[in-house]
Structure 1
Amino acid sequence: QAQAAALALRRALLLVTGGPGTGKTTTIARLLLLRIAQARASSTPAPRIALAAPTGRAAERMAESLRAAIARAIADGIQLPAAGSLPAPSGSAGLITSTHPTNAAAPASTGAGLELQTHAASEQGGPPSWEALLPSGASTLHRLLGVIPDSPHFHHNADNPLPFDLIVVDEASMVDLPLMCKLVDAVADGTQLILLGDADQLPSVEAGDVLAAILQAAGPGDALQPEDAQALQSLLGSAPVERPPAVTSATRSGGLDGHRVHLLRGYRQAQDFALAPLADAIRAGDADTALALLRSGELPGVHFHEDGEDPLALGRDALLAHWRALANAQDPAAALRDAGRLRLLTAVRAGPQGARGLNARIEQLLADTGSGARRLGGASPWFQGRLLLITENSYRHGLFNGDVGICLRSDAGPSPGQGDASAVTARGHAAPSSRPGHAGDSARHDAPATDRRAQGPLVAWFEGDGDGQVRGFHPAALPAHESAFAMTVHKAQGSEFDEVWLQLPTRDARVLSRELLYTGITRARRALHLAASEAVMRAALARHAARISGLAWRLGAKDDKPPPVPAPTPAPLPQPPPSAPVQGALF
């Protein structure tokens, strides 16, 4: 972690990789503080920082984790240095400083919460605080770049670059090739770009395995370059410099050499949840070790349901109790927090073990136990406690692909216009509605709040911009969505849950891979339930979710060959034998 934070002072492009709990967020928090302290000590402008992620939920989690990590660092006694305590660096070999691109004001499309108020404190006559110099939130990449409706282009590009000195992108493995191209194109000269990710997770759903290709060109990232070690010796002391024996100059690139730091040591492992040995075996594709660990029962918090085919039978009581509690919630903010504690994940979308079929069964179970009696209508899919998953970005609503909400009754319905409810406080109580008065409103508001909610309209609630705040929408006004009691691993990427139930299909499927299994199990923070057969486990761990694009070769990875020229008349693809049908689909 110290190497990554220190190397950020010398690299315009930095790649920070590592598994869950290895301290990527903590590293970035210290890195941001170090960059700000460097600018303060050298009397240069504080860097303008943007935080971004591919999905809305990943951006929210990134901002939450960074706020907590920065608060811990400040609590440890880290203080801003005195202005001008260090001379400003000079020369191309010096440390990176703030350059402040010429387009100093970002348009509204850049997204609220990204710009820094770096001069607010100085205008008031006092020294700035850490909080005044740090970003207040994170954004999706689309919002950062500025979407142009009905156009494949963005507001920010090479001619109108992003007005930031430092851009940090989390969950970089989820970024596809076209979006990464547009991001790099919009990064101004002199701006630092930091990519965070886990190379062993699933690649993007769309074209390209971009992060893996960049990392292949950058090398293992387990040692500093000699010139970096010498320049940073005062910060790091004796850091590893020699390259490992297996890596030679014939297999290393020149352009990205020394731009990667790979974190290995885990810090988030709880005593009652030992996921790391299983994650290591799955990442390596070692089916024998993975199955032995699962069957041994020696991993605290890890439960293996071998040959389990129905999670609603295996964990019926625990799952239904969780979903019923959400339906009985009176506070939307608390319900959304509780919804993130448990999630049922699947590998496929269709089939008996797919997300679509499981969601239909769960909705019927909840209807039979009382929630269905409170539907909007007999055939309506809307009912108290329904979990929702947004499946497309809607900047008009401020909702993004991957956002999770919940349907609950409210004593104040959504306001008119775009379906957005009035502002909601941290307690989840809606502010007075701006709708014109209706007959019976006064009597309705004279009733207790609990009774009013029982009689009120169903509202789709989503997290708001601030901590503990929520926003409500009329169900009919939502963008494309589906139920979220069960979701695919692809949709859950970028999120974490206290408890995860991961159900694999009973037969092999094309989407099964070690990357999918690794991504699924690492969504769990405290408990994991895995239901699968030995045959499906072995099939998944024997398959790589690799993409062949030639990008690593174009970036200079010497051990990556360019894509071969296709034959004039390619042979037809082999068909699976009848004895091994392929089940399910990604979409």
Structure 2
Amino acid sequence: MLCAPTGKAAKRIEEATGREASTIHRLLGFNGKTYARDSQNPISADVVVVDECFDHNQCVLTEYGWDYIGRVVNQRKDVRVWSRDPETGLLQLRPIIRWLKHPAPDRLLKITAGRSRSTRHARVIRCTPDHKILTPYGYRRASDLRIGEEIVVRGHRFTPEQRSILVGSLLGDAGLYRGEARSSPQVVLVHGEKQSDYLDFKRKAFGTLAGKVRASKSGYSGDDVLHMSLAVNDETYDISKEMVLNGKHPSGRRRWSPTNRFLEMVDELALAIWYFDNGSSGERTLKDGTKRYSATLHTQRFSKADLYRIAEFLNIRFGLSPSVRPDSRGYWILVFNTEETEKLFDIIRPYTPACMSRKIDTDGRYSYQPSVEQDTCVARIQEIEQCEPSQAHVYDIEVADFHNYVAGNIIVSNCSMIDVPLAWHLFQAIDLDRTSVVLVGDHNQLPPVGPGNILRDLIDSKVLPTTILDDIVRQAGILKENSMAILKGEVPKTPQRDTSLRGAWYVCDQHTDADRVQRFVLDLFEHTLSEKLGFDILRDVQVLTPTHKGPLGTVELNTKLQRLIQRKLWNHDVPPAQPGKRPKLLINDKVIQTRNNYDLGVMNGAMGIVRSVSVDGSLTIEFEDKMVHIEAGSPHRGDIQLAYALTIHKSQGSEFPCSVVIAHKSHSFMHHRNLLYTGVTRASRTAIIVGDHWGIANCAKRVQVDARKTFLSLLLAGGT
């Protein structure tokens, strides 16, 4: 059996092992008051039977291509299959170590995900209801999934740079072909023969998504052109829905109207690509030899009304003020005067490839080529239906490195979070004559909020076999090295790096005043985390701070971040909260459950998103594995709090792509090395430490976690 102190830790175990895990409270049958499991009713863990199988004709991807899982099992084929590395998201070949066959149930579930219906790319499985399917939030039973939910599939997604280049190309010379004759929308990049180097720049940028470059004739002018198709993925469908067909231009080109959502995808790189596709500039030399330019965007694809919308968007998003004018043929275009042209060029200059330097008279050096081509992505479930098995048996395989075989053992993750009362109840419910216990945790993290320091005391007693795991798998590279340096009292500075790439480690200690540090954190969310680092500020980024109070505490940060994020992502202006009162929860707010709620089935530390707020104040919240409705006036409402900022203690057992960790002198009474270490090790990609120089250094130097007054290690060493 697998269990963990918190629900989030249990989810991470499931994702790492592919096996079901529960919280310790659930394993012990805790109902909020009493424990069902104790010395008189111990946990039974002799055998774990998992009924998780596929239909005989379900295809699995082997090193030699697709094969029926039934045939692989019946013939016990010694082949390797492709498996997803949970750390990198990449597919790797791993050997099969078990072949499993069971009698088929009466009904299977057929789950279809993604948009493709082609034989090669369709995502369809037929499995037993208990089979676990990987989602972005861990493994879930097939029977628990619903239409519209996301699962992890084989396939590709656009990187942020690829998406921007695609959006700019669609505004420019690219074509999107769709219709009744096509089962999927097809993007084709088209450029003249003289722009072959520009098309090659795009080919490299799209990597494995790019098709072959072919020569053809233009459908409008009859000139020789080069074209390149892009592989279709789910995002192609999503983007195509934001391009509304709007008749034809007199030139013969198809017209379409961009939705507001499409325009939101236009960033600096997309604007640059649009200009390089469809822009031109006139040059004028002044008496003193300086040059002045006036730029034009040729926009035959859009109506006059759409051009006014686009001009308004460019003004709001980039501060540009182009004019909508007719050209010599009467076609409507966007014109930039000399001043506006300089502003436009300043924006797009950093994204100029060498082959387009002539268009804005600069030494273009921009290039993009994906360093790692992800071959798994996320797709939404389109259909779920029952089906009959094709044969009398169902089948499963176990793959090396991604599954653990568990019998008679209890594996507990993050045991540094177990306090004395919970540990007592756990060991009371274990029959040590038949069940082994393996405790897994990080003794360098914070001790539990409750009494005791169980894991550290057990290690210090030296009476139990202990193995130190010194390889951090959540983190790698500079993030891993710098996290370990904190345990030595050191906080490495921000490393020198290519500013066009996202870094893994940032230390921002230039401000001493707490209010200035707060403004800096807000500016990160406003201008940097998504725009420059490519993070989803709602789902990827977590602010971690030592305390609840003050300008850098969770209460004030949550209030200000709620207003900022609601305005930035959903254009919703949140009125200031009344003094002394908690802010109202709004749709799309990130929230956290603050205590175990056995009535709702939601555990302490579970994080979710508010999906609806009724007029009467009732809420619907989507937690990681379920939708929960809370009536207005319910006492359960008091256990839900905003979660844009959390205390570092509350974040234990969790993991985030980006952690913004606050270490400021105003919290010096709480500072110690393990606090900072716990904060930065919550990050899997990027850690950002924010504070003042003294506060950050003081936090790393102070060693306080050992100061808890406990006797467990002495009692164990004495044989008690």
Provide TM-score, normalisation by structure 1.
Answer: 0.52
Give the corresponding residue for 2:710: 549
**Which stretch of structure 1 is more off in the superposition, 537-546 or 177-186?**
537-546
What SS is found at the alignment partner of 1:502? strand
Q: How do 1:401-412 residues align onto structure 2 when only pairs under 5 Å count?
A: 401-409=604-612
Question: Residues 433-452 of structure 1, C-alpha deviation per residue, up to 9 Å, x if partnerless?
Answer: xxxxxxxxxxxxxxxxxxxx
Structure 2 Cα separation of the partners of residues 371 and 262 of structure 1? 50
Give the corresponding residue for 1:262: 468
Give the corresponding residue for 2:622: 462
Give the corresponding residue for 1:60: 11
Q: CA RMSD in A?
A: 3.5
Deviation at 1:388, TM superposition (A): 0.8
Q: How do 1:320-359 residues align onto structure 2 when only pairs under 5 Å count?
A: 320=526, 339-359=538-558
Give the corresponding residue for 2:419: 176
Structure 2 residue 466 is matched with structure 1 residue 305: no
Question: Residues 44-103 of structure 1, C-alpha deviation per residue, up to 9 Å, x if partnerless?
Answer: xxxxxx211111111112212222xxxxxxxxxxxxxxxxxxxxxxxxxxxxxxxxxxxx
Letter in 2 for 1:147: F
Deviation at 1:352, TM superposition (A): 1.0
Give the corresponding residue for 2:409: 166
Percent sequence identity is: 26
Letter in 1 for 2:413: D
Distance 1:536 1:312, change over 3 A: closer
Give the corresponding residue for 2:452: 208
What SS is found at the alignment partner of 2:596? coil
Structure 2 residue 26 is matched with structure 1 residue 143: yes
Letter in 2 for 1:139: S
Distance 1:318 1:58, change over 3 A: same
Asked if the contact 1:203/1:209 (under 8 Å) is kept, the reply is: yes
Structure 2 residue 339 is matched with structure 1 residue 388: no
Distance 1:553 1:506, change over 3 A: same
Give the corresponding residue for 2:149: none
Letter in 1 for 2:11: E
Structure 2 Cα separation of the partners of residues 268 and 492 of structure 1? 15
Structure 2 Cα separation of the partners of residues 198 and 142 of structure 1? 20
2:666 to 487, 507, 510: 507
Distance 1:321 1:193, change over 3 A: farther
Q: How do 1:86-165 residues align onto structure 2 when only pairs under 5 Å count?
A: 135=19, 137-149=20-32, 151=33, 153-164=34-45, 165=408
Structure 2 Cα separation of the partners of residues 373 and 171 of structure 1? 38
Structure 2 Cα separation of the partners of residues 183 and 471 of structure 1? 29
Give the corresponding residue for 2:187: none
Structure 2 residue 572 is matched with structure 1 residue 371: yes
Deviation at 1:494, TM superposition (A): 0.6
1:187 to 414, 426, 430: 430
Unaligned runs of 5+ in 2: 46-407
Deviation at 1:505, TM superposition (A): 2.8
What SS is found at the alignment partner of 1:490? coil
Distance 1:489 1:269, change over 3 A: closer
Distance 1:320 1:402, change over 3 A: farther
Give the corresponding residue for 2:644: 485
Q: How do 1:423-434 residues align onto structure 2 when only pairs under 5 Å count?
A: none
Structure with a larger share of its residues in strand: 2
Letter in 1 for 2:4: A
Asked if the contact 1:371/1:384 (under 8 Å) is kept, the reply is: no
Deviation at 1:374, TM superposition (A): 10
Structure 2 Cα separation of the partners of residues 209 and 373 of structure 1? 42
Give the corresponding residue for 2:226: none
Structure 2 Cα separation of the partners of residues 379 and 174 of structure 1? 28
Asked if the contact 2:664/2:696 (under 8 Å) is kept, the reply is: no
Structure 1 Cα separation of the partners of residues 687 and 573 of structure 2? 29
Letter in 2 for 1:531: V
What SS is found at the alignment partner of 2:668? coil
Distance 1:456 1:372, change over 3 A: farther
Deviation at 1:379, TM superposition (A): 9.4
